[in-house]
Amino acid sequence: MIIVSASDNNFVPGLFTLVYSAWLHNRAVKFFIISVDIEPENISSLLTFCRKHQISCKIIHVNDGFARGLPTNEQWTGAAYARFLIPDLLPNESKAIYLDADAVVVSSLDDLWSMNMGDNLVAGVLDGFVHQGELDSIELTADEYINSGVLVMNLDAWRRENIADKMFKEARRSKKITFPDQTVLNSVARGRVLLLGREWNFCSGRYVSYERKTPKILHFSGDGKPWVIRNAPFSSIYNSYRILSGSNIPAASVDQKLISARKMAMGLVRLRWKYWSVALAFMYYKFTFMDPHIRKLRKQVEGARSA
C-alpha cells in the first residue's frame, strides 16, 4: 500500500499523527511525504519518529518554485498543488492513496487500496459544501464535485495522458476560483471520477450536516485544526493518536468559541432544532464512535507494547 501526503511547515503537527494513525491500522504501508520547503529540523524529527516505530517513510523534497504562477494565498500555499506531482515523483507506482496532512486514519484502508480504478483518474468523496459560483465556473454540479483531501489516484493513467500538465495549465489560467487545486482537479478529471462513501473523507467540522456515518478517515479541513484549536470537533481522536504515538507535538492551547452551555440549554428547552441538531449529532458520535474508538485504540497499543 502506497500513501502519499504533502506538507509545508504549517501542517507538520498533523503530519506526525497522520503517519502514525495510518500505519497503526495498515502495517504494510509505505509512506512518501512530499516536502515543500519543510524545515530540516522538522524533517529530521519526522524521520526519527518513523524509525522509532519502524514505519517505512521516504521524504521527497520539492522547492516551492514549482508553484510559481499558480494562484495561492495564506490558506492555499504551493503545497496544495504538490499532489499533482505524484505520478512523476513515483514513476514506478501504478496507484497511490493521497491524504491531506490534516487527516487522521481510523481504520484499515484495504478497501481503498484494492479498488479497481478502471480507466478513471481518481476516486474521491463528494465535497457537498462548495458554493454554486465555484461549480458554475467549471460547469459541474454538486453531485460531481469531490473534495481533494482524500484521493485514490490512477498514476498510470495520469502519466499516459499527461494529466499533471493539464492540471497545472488549468490552474495557471484560473485566477478567481476559491479552491484552486480542488476545482482544477474536478475540472480536468470530469467524467472519470469514482465516488466514495462519506466515511472515507469525513470532514470534522461538517458532522452536524452529514448523514450519520462511522468515519474511516477523519479530515480536519478548514480552520478547526486540532493542533491549534483545543476543543475542535473530534479533537479527542486526534489527541489520542498524538499521545499514544509518543511524538513531541504539543497539545493545542487555543479554545474555539462554541455555543455557551447556557445558550445551548435554553435552545434545547425551547425545542429549537438548531441546538437539538448539534446536541444529537455530538452525542451520537461521542457514544457510537469517539469513546469506543479511543478505548479500542488504547487496548490495541497496550497489547502491542506488551507483546
| SS3 label, residue 98 | strand
The pLDDT mean for the chain works out to 90
* Residue 63 maps to a domain: yes
d(CA 14, CA 298): 20
**Cα–Cα separations (whole angstroms), residue 250 to 17, 231, 244, 246:** 12, 14, 13, 11
Q: Which residues of 171-190 are buried (b: 16+ CB within 10 A; e: fewer)?
A: beebeebebbbbbbbbbbbe
Residues 193, 283 share a domain: no
* Residue 239 maps to a domain: no
What's the structural domain count of the chain?
2
The whole domain housing 294 covers 260-307
Fill in the amino acid letter for 284.
Y
Cell numbers 488549468: residue: 170
Last residue of a domain, one of 133, 168, 203: 203
Residues 264, 197 share a domain: no
Q: Is the pLDDT of residue 307 over 60?
A: no
Confidence of residue 259 (pLDDT cuts 50, 70, 90): low
* Residue 274 maps to a domain: yes
| SS3 label, residue 252 | coil
Question: Please, which residues have CB within 8 angstroms of residue 287's CB and are 6 or more apart in sequence?
Answer: none
Mean pLDDT calculated for residue range 132-139: 87
Residues 178, 53 share a domain: yes
Q: Is the pLDDT of residue 268 over 80?
A: no
The whole-model pTM stands at: 0.94
What is the DSSP secondary-structure string of 191-217? T-EEE--GGGSEEGGGTTTSPP---SE
Q: Is the pLDDT of residue 175 over 70?
A: no
Q: Is the pLDDT of residue 137 over 60?
A: yes
Mean pLDDT calculated for residue range 29-56: 96
Last residue of a domain, one of 203, 225, 250: 203
